[in-house]
Structure 1
Amino acid sequence: MRRREFLGYTAAALAAGVEFGRSTAAVAEAQSARSEGSSSRGRFVHPGILQTRAELEFMKSMVLARKEPWFGKWTEMLALPLSSLSFVPSPVTHIFRGANGLQKNGDDELHASVDAANSHVLQWYVTGDRAHAEKTAEILDAWSRTLWNFGGNDGKLIAGWTGAALCNSAEILRATYPEWGAEREERFKRMMTEVYLPLDVDFFPEANGNWDAAIMQTLAAIAVFTEDHALFEKVVTHYKFGQKNSGITKYVFPTGQCEESVRDMGHTQLGLGYFALTALVCWHQGVDLFGLADNRLALGFEYTSKYMLGEAVPYFGDIATKGRGSFSDFYEVAYQHYRYVKGLDMPYTEQAVLKAREHAKTTLTQYRGAEPSAAPAKAAAPQIPAAALPGASLNAVQAPANAKRIAPGDSIQTALDALHQAGGGSLFLAAGYYELAQPLRIPSGVTMSGAGRGTIISLEPTLSGACLVAAELDLHDVVLREFIVEGGTQHLPQPDPNEDRRVHATYRAASRGGVHLIADRQGQMQRMRLERLTVRNCTLSAVDLQGVAEVSIAQCDLCDSGGRVAPGPGNHNPLRLTHCQRVLIRGSRLDGSLAGAGLRAISVDTIKVERCEAARNWKSGLSFFNCEHVTVSESLLEGNDENGIDLIRDQRQMKIDAGEGNILRLNGAEAASREDYAGR
């Protein structure tokens, strides 16, 4: 997808500039008037989409005073053909764009008009030349009279890209040029509410997160322009709680890695940028979305900027190299808001801003304000070492001295059986891909380890069922560590992992699981340890333990598993425990269940969950059903579509360390209880 660099939305950087030009007291006053993620039902601020009047005045003063970099970028803008009064819009009735920009009709013409409208409305504001106001009105009216709909694979996306910028131009024109008139204004409003709004009002969370980020920006702009409080509340709620890839904690993970970081850097920058622009519109209306989840968006910008600048970052999956080092012009708004308004240190984003300014020659993102008078209050993005990530280690792990070593092509089952015959022992799997013609039967008394993320075990693509199973019902003393169990049918990373996720989430997907150790009675299996194991992309449960006593799960990454295959949603999870005893889950990641909870524990006696993350699950983060002696402490439970912790039926001696160590936030049940909850 080609990145659109048009003036309409990138001019939003001007909005931050005036905040910097104001006094510290004024900025503090503005912040105090905003509550994090909650909205006011008072009057809308106009103009108040990408720029307020005060911000426009600041920009105007800098240009007229020939201050740099404002004046230089202003001059560049004036040199563009679309900035000329000779520009003529070319509206079409039906805009169409297929996947990846193919089979286009009207797309380029609309974007040219968006750029031109923004340029002329700013020229009108700065120079007072009525010809530019009329040119803006001409462009808006040409499309308002003509456009009927958007079609094709990318129709919703094109509307998301362009609607906010058009509303911003119209917002400025309405506030400063009475001659625009009620008739032309009403035609424009009808285009927004009858063409743009019906297409995007239900969002599109099934797509990668950059789609809904752009859609949210346009819906927020329409809400402001038309003074639609219900629509504005819907956007705020979706930003916080949106399902699949939509909400802020769905898109930016606690490490700063983004949902599209494994795809490419171009789309990742789009997603972050539109989340920032949506937050900017809401900020102008008294709602602070920038601060959600401890400034999570700032964390995403810092992480991405650091990686784009060539430095190493911790990551899950396979972080993309495509687009690395090619800086888009989306950094400015986030940087200036977090650095100057919130007083956060954004060292990598600052470098990215400078890189983007070198290349974004046709935009106004280069506008910036005064330097802060005080040092930043705190760092926005703590540096997380790769060694702290749960799951199989990123760096190669060496074989234990006493381990039998095998390589890809050797039979793992033969080696395990030999160890069992010898009374137990240790087996090391060298780095490589191990494809199994049948499930691997794990015997008692063995430790099986790998070289970290370089060791991948998977069933043949045509097979169903679990990848690792118990060789005996009274299995005991087993350790599994430092390798990946791949539940998907392809072990190589796909260009767009969201496509695979959609397939895995259907009820018709192949039934494939990870580690399933299942006994016939409680306590029949004993002493199972899973350490630094990654199990992913399973339609069945990633790890399913039944009837096991003494379970230790430490630093494991159990993610993107638990789909809709029979017997249906909710019955498969990243981690499922049934009739187990004395379970400790520590430092693990139970994320991204396709149709279940991160952990589902049924009839478990004594279970402790410590320092874990259960996030972005289709149901709850942690679900306990008829369990006894349950403790949850120091865990992050966020962005789940239901509850952070779900207690079902009789929970005896349950202890939730919510007051001190646990963080429960932005889970769907919280949205459902809010007055402004809408449209899920």
Structure 2
Amino acid sequence: MRTDRTLRSQPVNQDSSGRSISRREALRGAGAVAVAGAGAAVLGGASTAVAADAFAHPGLLHTRADLDRMAAKVKAGTGQWKAGFAKLTANSHARSGWQANPQRTVYRGSGTPENYGTLYNDIHAAYQNALRWHITGETAHADTAVAILNAWSGRLTALDGSADRFLAAGLYGYQFANAAELVRDHDGFELARFQKMMLNVFAPVSEDFLTNHNGAYLTNYWANWDLTALACVLAVGILCDDRAKVRRAVTYFKSGQGMGSVRNAIPVVHADGLAEWVEAGRDQGHALLGVGLMGTVCEMAWNQGIDLYGHDDNRFLKGAQYVAKWSMGGDVPYTANTRKKGAPGVWSGTESATRAADVDPTMTRPIWAMISNHYTKRRGLSAPYLTRIAAKAAPEGGGGDYGPNSGGYDQLGFGTLAFTREAGDTAESTKAPTPTRTDAAPSAASSAGPATSPSASASEGSRSQGGSGDLAVTGTGGVAAVAGTGVLAIAGGLIALRRRQAGTRP
């Protein structure tokens, strides 16, 4: 018996999006900048609220300052930015003229007519062309991105499949939103229609997962499932100026009951400053995916004035350092834990992880530059393992550079280009920026056009780079497959998730 079910789109009131568009145009004409007022983000407090209609745009993974920096560094032919840009231009997805292949329904999961590869290839083409436009000023790339996004918003009506449809909603939802954010003011982009698609098709699936977890026990799904959903809800909230969605994502990150909230994904902090990543007991590919997703959530929140990077005494830094050290072959401790699997009334079992899984030090995913540069350059903190692994992974590529399977498209990538900072250009606040309407008073390098410059971790449903097939049987209808490490044990019974208390934070 299956408990997963197909979600049907619900009508969403688009008035808020309409008001946002007209107000932005009015502000641009007046040359004004609106700053968030009493409802602005409260940094470091017990709760975080974001003022309605006070979001910074562009303001997902890349801000205007980020885009200006990339363009200037590439124009100057500077070191790592030059190498990172070369990775972008060498990728076939970044070529102008890419032809979209939109589908009415996208399916992901065994037993369905899977066609989700069409979606993620088109998303990465839109993102890479949009990024290339901001750096070079070549409008053909912006036009290509807009054409792809418009094609999909004019056709897509549903996500379907097995439980893996939740992964499709989360992964491709946050990525789609990031591509759209880069061209949100470009001529011809149907922003309101795209926002409607994101609000009707992607966000409801991710929000339902965070609420109901596909009818399963909370611990049935590893951290990655929650984190994909979190990334989608947060990205859609920012793209659509939806305060409630942003608040929900932030609250879940801090205190959600599922395995993707920060204290469940990183359950144990050790005296040496490293903190266990729970999926290190599963396998390397999924641990890398989880770190990349949590970093994505933190970066998007930071660009809206919300500091999740520093939450709970930099807990994510400690977890990312742990995964970096372990992925490079270093010895790390692991606290044995057992999680409850299955769904009420369907089946129940347990799965135990007893040690950190074996790793392949050559496995690479484009997740490290963003995280390393935040902690070491923005914040000036020591993060030796992050520094080493980011250098090892550089220059980071993107979708299409890490294998043909879906796991190679789980991150947007190009972090060496997008996030590298130098001592001379890192005079940034150590607190998250106050949300402002950065699109209200455009300079020559506003969101209406780029700055002037010269003309995976494995996914939940695919193996790591170099492999094929599924890492695990997903959903509630079966028992997870052992990933070849010998560290997972399945047992019967109804034992809840437990963690040894020694060394844990309260």
TM-score of the superposed pair, with normalisation by structure 1:
0.50
Displacement of 1:327: 2.6
Write the distance in 2 (CA, Å) between the matches of 1:38 and 1:244. 19
Q: Residue 227 in 1 paired to residue 241 in 2?
A: yes
Write the distance in 1 (CA, Å) between the matches of 2:188 and 2:44. 35
3-state SS of paired residue (1:96): strand
Write the distance in 2 (CA, Å) between the matches of 1:37 and 1:115. 36
3-state SS of paired residue (2:279): coil
Write the distance in 2 (CA, Å) between the matches of 1:64 and 1:147. 38
Displacement of 1:130: 2.4
Displacement of 1:36: 5.3
Q: Residue 73 in 1 paired to residue 110 in 2?
A: no
Identify if the C-alpha distance between structure 1 residues 82 and 244 changes in structure 2 by more than 3 Å, giving closer, same or farther: closer
Q: Give a deviation string over 1:292-327, Cα, whole Å, max 9, x none.
A: 121111111111111111221122222111545413
Q: What is the aligned counterpart of 1:190 among 183, 188, 196? A: 196
Kept in 1, the 8 Å contact 2:356–2:487? The answer is no
**2:5: which partner in 1?**
none
**2:415: which partner in 1?**
365
Kept in 2, the 8 Å contact 1:221–1:281? The answer is yes
Kept in 1, the 8 Å contact 2:59–2:238? The answer is yes
Kept in 1, the 8 Å contact 2:50–2:246? The answer is no
Q: Residue 303 in 1 paired to residue 322 in 2?
A: yes
Write the distance in 2 (CA, Å) between the matches of 1:348 and 1:61. 29
Q: What is the aligned counterpart of 1:243 among 257, 275, 279? A: 257
3-state SS of paired residue (2:97): coil
Kept in 2, the 8 Å contact 1:174–1:180? The answer is no
Write the distance in 1 (CA, Å) between the matches of 2:109 and 2:381. 41
Q: What is the aligned counterpart of 1:208 among 222, 229, 238? A: 222
**1:351: which partner in 2?**
388
Q: Give a deviation string over 1:329-381, Cα, whole Å, max 9, x none.
A: 2112111111111221111111111222267474412231103899xxxxxxx
Displacement of 1:139: 0.3
Kept in 2, the 8 Å contact 1:90–1:109? The answer is yes
Q: Residue 165 in 1 paired to residue 175 in 2?
A: yes
3-state SS of paired residue (2:106): strand
**Contiguous gaps of at least 5 residues in structure 1:** 1-31, 375-491, 510-537, 540-559, 562-573, 575-588, 591-611, 616-635, 638-680
Q: Where in structure 2 are the equivalents of 1:322-401 lying within 5 Å?
A: 322-357=359-394, 360=397, 362=401, 363-367=413-417, 368-371=420-423
Q: Give a deviation string over 1:18-70, Cα, whole Å, max 9, x none.
A: xxxxxxxxxxxxxx984356424321111111111111111111111221221
Kept in 2, the 8 Å contact 1:220–1:235? The answer is yes
Write the distance in 2 (CA, Å) between the matches of 1:59 and 1:150. 35
**2:153: which partner in 1?**
144
Write the distance in 2 (CA, Å) between the matches of 1:304 and 1:44. 32
Write the distance in 2 (CA, Å) between the matches of 1:499 and 1:167. 38
Q: Where in structure 2 are the equivalents of 1:33-182 lying within 5 Å?
A: 34-35=43-44, 38-42=47-51, 43-98=54-109, 105-151=114-160, 152-175=162-185, 177=186, 179-181=187-189
3-state SS of paired residue (1:288): coil
**2:433: which partner in 1?**
none
3-state SS of paired residue (2:221): coil
Q: Which runs of 4+ in 1 moved over 6 A?
A: 492-499
**1:292: which partner in 2?**
311
Q: Where in structure 2 are the equivalents of 1:242-321 lying within 5 Å?
A: 242-253=256-267, 254-255=269-270, 256-316=275-335, 317-321=354-358
- Kindly indicate which of the two structures has a greater share of residues assigned to strand: 1
**1:651: which partner in 2?**
none
Quick one: percent identity of the two aligned structures?
Answer: 26
Kept in 2, the 8 Å contact 1:327–1:352? The answer is no
Q: Where in structure 2 are the equivalents of 1:595-614 lying within 5 Å?
A: none
Kept in 1, the 8 Å contact 2:355–2:487? The answer is no
Write the distance in 2 (CA, Å) between the matches of 1:268 and 1:219. 21
**2:451: which partner in 1?**
none
Kept in 1, the 8 Å contact 2:107–2:159? The answer is yes
**Contiguous gaps of at least 5 residues in structure 2:** 1-40, 336-353, 402-412, 427-481
What is the identity, as a one-letter code, of the residue corresponding to 2:152?
W
RMSD of Structure 2 on Structure 1 (CA): 2.9
Displacement of 1:123: 2.3
Higher-Rg structure is 1
What is the identity, as a one-letter code, of the residue corresponding to 2:72?
S
Identify if the C-alpha distance between structure 1 residues 351 and 173 changes in structure 2 by more than 3 Å, giving closer, same or farther: same
Q: Give a deviation string over 1:452-508, Cα, whole Å, max 9, x none.
A: xxxxxxxxxxxxxxxxxxxxxxxxxxxxxxxxxxxxxxxx9997989958x65xxxx
Identify if the C-alpha distance between structure 1 residues 338 and 132 changes in structure 2 by more than 3 Å, giving closer, same or farther: same
Q: Give a deviation string over 1:610-662, Cα, whole Å, max 9, x none.
A: xx56x6xxxxxxxxxxxxxxxxxxxx42xxxxxxxxxxxxxxxxxxxxxxxxx
Identify if the C-alpha distance between structure 1 residues 283 and 139 changes in structure 2 by more than 3 Å, giving closer, same or farther: same
Identify if the C-alpha distance between structure 1 residues 71 and 280 changes in structure 2 by more than 3 Å, giving closer, same or farther: same
Write the distance in 2 (CA, Å) between the matches of 1:130 and 1:359. 25
Write the distance in 1 (CA, Å) between the matches of 2:90 and 2:292. 26
- Kindly indicate which of the two structures has a greater share of residues assigned to helix: 2
Write the distance in 1 (CA, Å) between the matches of 2:238 and 2:486. 34
TM-score of the superposed pair, with normalisation by structure 2:
0.66
Kept in 2, the 8 Å contact 1:263–1:497? The answer is yes
Write the distance in 2 (CA, Å) between the matches of 1:493 and 1:89. 35
Identify if the C-alpha distance between structure 1 residues 119 and 296 changes in structure 2 by more than 3 Å, giving closer, same or farther: same
Identify if the C-alpha distance between structure 1 residues 190 and 334 changes in structure 2 by more than 3 Å, giving closer, same or farther: same
Write the distance in 1 (CA, Å) between the matches of 2:358 and 2:424. 34
3-state SS of paired residue (2:159): strand
Q: Give a deviation string over 1:74-108, Cα, whole Å, max 9, x none.
A: 12322222222231111112222225xx8662221
Q: Give a deviation string over 1:127-165, Cα, whole Å, max 9, x none.
A: 323222221111001111121222223111122112122
Write the distance in 1 (CA, Å) between the matches of 2:60 and 2:95. 25
